[in-house]
A and B are shown apart, each in its own frame.
Chain A
């Protein structure tokens, strides 16, 4: 079926309100061939779950296996940079298929079990308390700058064994790495610069942990090298992956979640009326309602039939979490922010063998953050107008540029 939806996924309208844009695709053409970017756009919840659980049909080795130039187009003069980016990204464990993926994931998986993440909860609570104390003293807060950004950086830095004084530098480098899902034709320059700086930063840390392991996450990766699962380059690439993935997603969850509570004061009151009973569910609803990650890509490993379309071997696919999580076939009143929703089978972390490794950590961070806001502030308000809220031009991340708030 042909839909009237424009194939440009980078218009202001599609970036600011992905729910209408991808929602229309979900209803009119759920397995949509995007002619402009030459890829399949998958938007229904059940298709997404099916696809993510059939990893043998859809390769995650996208950078390695996609021979086409990136979309939207980049400057011809940057194609060399893109080769460098491909090579680097291909070393990440999430860019591998089985059987390699299983060996790689097993090296890092044990670090992120729900039980091990519980051990971090007290530290996470302390960090949140300090940040909110500071904000209260100042009397104002840009949730993005003053809370959501420092929080996961501090925690990841701690877990990765990265010295605290290096956090601002890491954030700066990470900003450049976020260009991975952006549309600007010059984005490879920022992205590859970020990669170079990250390699430069992480390499000495890795070299130290190879010789002298500690109980941090880089040491876990280094152990993977000793066991012959990772090469040195892969250890470095995966260290920086975790630094990036571990904080951008959390930043978005916290900002988007707080914004949802501001727009839905009844739900904030509800959380405040029974914090202990509601905070876990509230966090799950924040994950569903305005998900941190909008979409993920794959490459078809063979011809696959899906809803009377044939996805050809080597075709590009992008599946949209933000649309699946608003699918009315799966969720009642899907556009409504409802913190009593339970069970909440959202796909904010994907599904299948590539289900987000850091989901366990993000959950603890989100739970404690929303809980702390509810315990401390009677009501939350925007310190700007709705039309001033802007999102980064990315189809991968749902990232506000800033979120100034006030409170009572």
Chain B
């Protein structure tokens, strides 16, 4: 089930080590690019709880999530 709230998800590529945990927790939202670093390919791809879990499981805290409309910081 995709989620309604519009999210702005950022992955810091100076930090991302390609651990790919985010992809395994929110499979529709994150995917590895050609450099094998994570990209938020579809910010609406998974329910918010799943996206938050993915961000929380990033071992290097590379993921930031905001509400795209209000700018509210949702993670970290």
Q: Interface on A for B, CB 8 Å cutoff?
A: 52-54, 102, 105-106, 109-110, 112-115, 343, 345, 349-353, 355, 357, 359-360
Residue B64, interface by CB 8 Å: no
A54 surroundings in chain B (CB, below 8 A): 36
In chain A, what residue has the closest Cβ to B24? A102
16 residue pairs from A and B, CB less than 8 Å apart: A53-B35, A54-B36, A105-B21, A109-B59, A113-B57, A114-B60, A115-B56, A343-B15, A350-B17, A352-B17, A352-B19, A352-B36, A353-B18, A355-B60, A359-B60, A360-B59
Given contacts A343-B14, A349-B17, 4 further A-B contacts (CB under 8 A): A53-B36, A106-B21, A113-B58, A351-B18
Question: B55 to chain A: closest CB distance in Å?
Answer: 10
A109 surroundings in chain B (CB, below 8 A): 21, 57, 59
A-contact bits for B30-63, CB 8 A (1 contact / 0 none): 0000011000000000000000000011111100
In chain B, what residue has the closest Cβ to A115? B56
Q: Are A106 and B24 in contact (CB under 8 A)?
A: yes
Complex: how many Å from CA A112 to CA B35? 25
Q: Are B18 and A110 in contact (CB under 8 A)?
A: no
Q: Are B59 and A113 in contact (CB under 8 A)?
A: yes
Choose among B19, B24, B56, B61 the residue that contacts A355 (Cβ–Cβ < 8 A): B19
Residue B20, interface by CB 8 Å: yes
A349 surroundings in chain B (CB, below 8 A): 17
Complex: how many Å from CA A113 to CA B58? 7
Complex: how many Å from CA A360 to CA B56? 12
A114 surroundings in chain B (CB, below 8 A): 58-61
If A53-B36, A102-B24, A106-B24 touch, does A112 touch B59 (CB 8 Å cutoff)?
yes
In chain B, what residue has the closest Cβ to A343? B14
In chain A, what residue has the closest Cβ to B76? A115
Choose among A105, A110, A112, A345 the residue that contacts B14 (Cβ–Cβ < 8 A): A345
Complex: how many Å from CA A357 to CA B21? 11
B59 surroundings in chain A (CB, below 8 A): 109, 112-114, 355, 357, 359-360
Closest 4 CB pairs of A and B: A53-B36, A351-B17, A355-B19, A53-B18
Choose among A110, A115, A345, A353 the residue that contacts B19 (Cβ–Cβ < 8 A): A353
Complex: how many Å from CA A194 to CA B30? 42
- Tell me how many residues of B have a C-beta within 8 Å of chain A: 17
Question: B12 to chain A: closest CB distance in Å?
Answer: 9
In chain A, what residue has the closest Cβ to B21? A109
Q: Are A352 and B18 in contact (CB under 8 A)?
A: yes
Complex: how many Å from CA A110 to CA B21? 10
Complex: how many Å from CA A345 to CA B18? 13
In chain A, what residue has the closest Cβ to B12? A343
In chain B, what residue has the closest Cβ to A98? B20
In chain B, what residue has the closest Cβ to A103? B24
In chain B, what residue has the closest Cβ to A345? B14
Question: B20 to chain A: closest CB distance in Å?
Answer: 5
B58 surroundings in chain A (CB, below 8 A): 113-114
Question: B41 to chain A: closest CB distance in Å?
Answer: 17
Question: B24 to chain A: closest CB distance in Å?
Answer: 6
Question: B5 to chain A: closest CB distance in Å?
Answer: 22
B61 surroundings in chain A (CB, below 8 A): 114
Complex: how many Å from CA A355 to CA B24? 15
Complex: how many Å from CA A360 to CA B21? 14
Q: Which of B35, B36, B56 has the most CB of A within 10 A?
A: B36
B18 surroundings in chain A (CB, below 8 A): 52-53, 351-353, 355
Complex: how many Å from CA A110 to CA B35? 25
In chain B, what residue has the closest Cβ to A110? B57
Question: B30 to chain A: closest CB distance in Å?
Answer: 13
B60 surroundings in chain A (CB, below 8 A): 114, 355, 359
A105 surroundings in chain B (CB, below 8 A): 21
A52 surroundings in chain B (CB, below 8 A): 18
Complex: how many Å from CA A342 to CA B3? 37
Question: B26 to chain A: closest CB distance in Å?
Answer: 13
Q: Are B17 and A355 in contact (CB under 8 A)?
A: yes
Complex: how many Å from CA A117 to CA B57? 12
B19 surroundings in chain A (CB, below 8 A): 351-353, 355
Complex: how many Å from CA A349 to CA B18? 12
Complex: how many Å from CA A197 to CA B67? 53
